[in-house]
Structure 1
Amino acid sequence: MNPPDRPKGGRRAALLLAVITPVIAELTLGNPPLSRIWLMLLWIPIYGAGTVLIRELVRRRRGGWPSILLLGLAYGIVEEGLVLQALSSPTLYGAAGWSPRFLGLNGAYTELNLPYHAVFSVALPILLADLAVPSLRERPYLKRTGIVVAGVVFVLGGLLLRVTVATSIDPGYQAPVAVLAGCVAAVALLAVLALRVLPPAARSTRQVSRAGMAPGPWAVGAFGVLAGFGYLALLFPFGGAARPAFTHGGWVAAPMLAAAVLAVLAGWLVRRWTASGGWTDRHSLCLAGGALLGHTAFGVLANADTLADKLELSALGLVMLALLALLGRRHPAPMPAK
């Protein structure tokens, strides 16, 4: 059932989500450096409108986080496969040399970026927006007209990236028709699964088990740091490496497998903790903050080229932590039971 009216404050919440999404996904990773922050104008339309659109569709369906993550994967395929066409490009970012190509796709690059977009470009911004505006966390932000506008901006944002970023950094490349068709089919399948197959969250039931009790918020935050940093470090070549984790030849399969295991383990643990007793908004905030801290720390290590870039990104990370701490004051730790 769709709510008849847009809730009060919905537009501001949607604007907040649209703004923080590219900041989280790109700027706090060092893409671009703060000295070229104006480039964010190219990313805001597709990132901001895309994540707002995903949230609106899922909330109107009363879906849960599995639906958001599936649509986050679909978003990653749209941006990386259809717009930038980096999933299949033999030259862009040198990603074709990271690992063996599979079905015309750059293996390690695809494994790195699709989950990255699902988590850092979609799930975490939505989680933080929900924590910032808790009164609207279960409701859509916009009316149907707003959803249409978000969809139009999303498409225009994709075209903007295509004619600016993609043509400037990978001129002349056009993905094969088979790859483009496969991307479209994958996006359609993920959308159907997210919005039609998965049951609405309101209809699901969960059993609370003390065997799966969540650890303390700070422990969850530390886990977020390790998971966020570890996944990126396993798949993104840095420090002069040409392949992930400084591997050579067939050994690249080792970090790729380790990253997959880490992603599955992280997903299983978070699902287990959130389905058990004791999970609070404080846990969610610490998990998000930890993942963001780990991902920004990796950006300082791997993405920032100069000392000035490293210092600027580190300062941005400190500002991010300060803002998260302010948000945390709205979600204090629960008092221990007597």
Structure 2
Amino acid sequence: MRTDIRPGRSRPGRGRERAAWTLALLTTLCAQLTFSAVAVPFIWLLLPLLLVMYGAGVLLVREAVARAGGGWTSLVVLGLAYQVAEDGLGLQALTSPHMYGAADWGLRALGINWTYWESQIGVHVVLSVLLPVAITNLLFPRLRDQSYLRTGGFIVTGALAVAGVLGLRVVISATEDPGNQTPWGWTVAYLLMIALLAWPALRVLPRRRSPDRVRSDRRAPRPVVVGIVAGYLTMAFLTTLLPLGLGQDLLFGDMMSPPLRLFAGAMTAIPFGWLVLRWRRSGDWADRHRLWLIGGILVSHTAFMMPASATSAVIGLITICLEVVLLSVLGRHIRRPQPRRKIVGSAPPRPLNGS
């Protein structure tokens, strides 16, 4: 009687559960706790609530894309729908004239804070969706294209994601801007946007998905260069649209008009995305490059909040040090060769096809 456990086939359910919990936690850490908690440390006390509000939503996005057979493009498009659900239906910050002072940061027209909306598209698609998924892929490489959850777990995650949106509305929106209600017209528009984004993300793009065309003659920059460029462009995007440290004054003050800020923000984000796509198709693009890309974005995202106060500067510096240490540990983990487990028994294992 054999008692061995073959590598890669041991307790698959448990490995998928760990991956799901890891993604939910990373979403909360990357999007919220390495940013908002720098200026407002007590947010750590809300970790269980944030896991429902943000973790379940992004886990649902990732699961839906994996089940549909989609790739990174589908994640981006469905991430846009997630951002509308969170900031539009949940926080109601897109239409609020008072919450976070967002109406004073840039262009407000037709009842919408357009500059705030553009900033949150960048933040949530990248920091809430793409980076946590990328880190989870590095931690669980064998599950990159597979679903983490069974059907029941997927349904529960969807229910928690809806509860999270309602929680944002009841807990945070009602606290930050009491009495504010999104106009019904915009509520309907948000729901239509979510549906119109979900359709191509889950039905159209997966059918057109093709393997990355890697060019062996193309070389990516050194990993450290990738990190520096990622950090610079992240800071450029944030400071163009948001006050540094979410204070009172925008960078360059009145030198840039609100419409110009929208254009400048887009002209930072779009070339950044194109650059990453170009790097990914290079013949020598590897996990080290991915780590430096992730690190550059995360560190810059945290550093943006440090000028808020002296306390924020100290907490931000500690947070950045932790980010660097943890990413270094992850780097050593992914470079470590996987040991082969010994087979215990009198007969060698038979091939899966039974031949």
Which of residues 106, 112, 131 in structure 2 aligns to 1:105? 112
Q: Which range is displaced more, 37-46 or 64-73?
A: 37-46
After superposition, the C-alpha distances for 1:228-258 in whole angstroms (9 at most, x for unaligned) are 2211111112378656424328623333222
Mapped pair 1:49 → 2:94: no
Map 1:240-251 onto structure 2 (within 5 A).
242=248, 244-248=250-254, 251=257
Which of residues 300, 308, 313 in structure 2 aligns to 1:310? 313
Map 1:160-309 onto structure 2 (within 5 A).
160-200=167-207, 203-209=209-215, 212-238=218-244, 242=248, 244-248=250-254, 251-301=257-307, 304-305=308-309, 307-309=310-312
Contact 2:245/2:306 (<8 A) preserved: no
Distance in 2, matches of 1:74 and 1:18, equals 18
Counterpart position of 1:155:
162
Contact 1:216/1:283 (<8 A) preserved: yes
Mapped pair 1:58 → 2:61: no
| Change in 2 beyond 3 A, CA 1:185/1:36 | closer
Distance in 1, matches of 2:195 and 2:249, equals 32
> What's the TM-score once normalised by structure 2's chain length?
0.86
Q: Match of 1:329, SS?
A: helix
Q: Match of 1:245, SS?
A: coil
Which of residues 86, 90, 93 in structure 2 aligns to 1:79? 86
Task: In structure 2, give the amino acid aligned to 1:310.
Answer: A
Task: In structure 1, give the amino acid aligned to 2:49.
Answer: L
Residue identity (%): 40
After superposition, the C-alpha distances for 1:118-152 in whole angstroms (9 at most, x for unaligned) are 11011100110111111211211111111111111
Distance in 2, matches of 1:144 and 1:266, equals 36
After superposition, the C-alpha distances for 1:61-85 in whole angstroms (9 at most, x for unaligned) are 2211111111111111111000111
Counterpart position of 1:136:
143
| Change in 2 beyond 3 A, CA 1:127/1:98 | same
Cα deviation, residue 39, structure 1: 2.6
Contact 2:245/2:305 (<8 A) preserved: no
Mapped pair 1:323 → 2:326: yes
Task: In structure 1, give the amino acid aligned to 2:328.
Answer: A
Contact 1:227/1:266 (<8 A) preserved: yes
RMSD value, Cα: 2.3
Mapped pair 1:89 → 2:96: yes
After superposition, the C-alpha distances for 1:147-188 in whole angstroms (9 at most, x for unaligned) are 111111111122222111111110001111111111111111
Cα deviation, residue 287, structure 1: 0.5
Structure 2, unmatched stretches of 5+, are 1-10, 337-355
Contact 1:24/1:121 (<8 A) preserved: yes
Mapped pair 1:29 → 2:49: no
Contact 2:36/2:43 (<8 A) preserved: no
Q: Whose radius of gyration is greater, 1 or 2?
A: 2
Distance in 2, matches of 1:83 and 1:22, equals 16
Cα deviation, residue 276, structure 1: 2.8
Task: In structure 1, give the amino acid aligned to 2:175.
Answer: S
> What's the TM-score once normalised by structure 1's chain length?
0.90
Structure 1, unmatched stretches of 5+, are 334-338
Q: Which range is displaced more, 215-224 or 236-245?
A: 236-245
